Amino acid sequence: MPLMNLQNFDFQQLHDAYRSRMIRYLAGLAGVDNAEDLCQEVFVKVEKGLKGFREEAQLSTWIYRIATNTYHDHVRGRTFKQQQQEMLSPTGNIDALESETPGVTEQPPIAEQGAIKKEMIECIRGYINQLPEDYRVVLLLSEEECFKNLEIAEILQISLDNVKIRLHRARAKLKELLESNCEFYLDGQSDIACDRKQGCD
């Protein structure tokens, strides 16, 4: 994430530069339906806090810290049942699987690859949303928002070792969920695809 010189642009430029990222990140945390309202709340706080912002920290990590704390405030105001609702965020990076992707078997080519990949992304996001909150947050920051571990530590105000532990556990838990509920294979373009196992909800 590049550093921005606050003296060279106004709040509107900052808003335009970060709004789409905030919508994506907050949708991943709180659901698409809540993302817009939370995003507006984040930028209200950002605008109020700009005068006191010290450029010894990255602007990006500062904004994401505000967004994460705003989400936490939102969660504390909701019931447990509401927190567990199914959430789907916009398209993003699903490289969280890395080399730990479950076993892949060869399958015949599949028609309508674009629609199938979209469905697969939504399916995987459904399992990401089943992860404990601490795991889901670090996974989104790392895989979707492309922050380095040290930056994540700054955003969440936790140690670097804690970030590494949470990421490792989050990926292991996601791998476990996918292995239990999905069957993976190679599609006609030699890309990884998946289907829910029969009998899985």
Per residue in 112-150, pLDDT (tens digit) is 556 666 677 777 778 888 899 999 999 999 999 999 999
Task: Retrieve residue 30's tokens.
Answer: 């709180």
- Alpha carbon distance 158, 152 (integer Å): 8
Residue 153: per-residue pLDDT: 97
Residues 26, 67 contacting (CB under 8 angstroms)? yes
Q: What is the mean pLDDT of residues 50-78?
A: 86
Is the pLDDT assigned to residue 22 strictly greater than 50? Answer: yes
- CATH 1.10.10.10 positions along the chain are 91-201
Closest CA to 164 of 132, 140, 142: 142
pTM over 0.85: no
Closest CA to 126 of 178, 193, 164: 178
Residues with Cβ within 8 Å of 168's Cβ and at least 6 positions away in sequence, in order, are none
Residue 113: per-residue pLDDT: 58
Spell out the alpha helix ranges (H) of the chain: 11-30, 32-49, 59-76, 80-83, 113-128, 133-139, 149-156, 160-181
Residues 83, 92 contacting (CB under 8 angstroms)? no
Residues 123, 131 contacting (CB under 8 angstroms)? no
CATH of domain 91-201: 1.10.10.10
Residue 185's CB is within 10 A of a number of other CB atoms, namely: 15
Question: Which CATH architecture group holds 1-90?
Answer: Orthogonal Bundle (1.10)
More confident of the two residues 130 and 192:
130
- CATH 1.10.1740.10 positions along the chain are 1-90
Residues of the chain above pLDDT 70, percent? 64
Is the pLDDT assigned to residue 108 strictly greater than 50? Answer: no
Question: How would residue 200 be classed by pLDDT, with cut points 50, 70 and 90?
Answer: very low
Query: What is the Cα 199 distance to its own chain's centre?
Result: 28
Is the pLDDT assigned to residue 100 strictly greater than 50? Answer: no
